[in-house]
């Protein structure tokens, strides 16, 4: 293997490693996003419940 091939392998290895790191980060961000979405949905549900109670009071 000449120095060019070694250099290309090193670059390929670096690209593969960076890709794995990005995929891991992407999974982590998706999980965080899911947690944020769940929190937001719970807050919305709470607001809807309060509004429904107000509507019943006015009927």
Q: What is the pTM of this model?
A: 0.55
- Whether 58 is covered by a domain: the verdict is no
Q: CB-based contacts of 42: which residues, under 8 Å, 6+ apart?
A: none
Residue 36 pLDDT > 60: yes
- Domain span at residue 29? 12-44
Q: How many H helices and E strands in the chain?
A: 1, 0
The pLDDT of 27-32, averaged and rounded, is 91
- Whether 49 is covered by a domain: the verdict is no
- Whether 22 is covered by a domain: the verdict is yes
- Whether 31 is covered by a domain: the verdict is yes
């Amino acid at each position: 293997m000449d120095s060019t091939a070694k250099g290309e392998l090193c670059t390929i290895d670096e690209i593969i490693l960076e890709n794995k790191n990005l995929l891991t980060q992407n999974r982590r961000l998706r999980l965080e996003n899911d947690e944020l979405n769940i929190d937001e949905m719970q807050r919305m549900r709470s607001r809807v419940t309060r509004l429904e109670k107000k509507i019943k009071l006015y009927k």
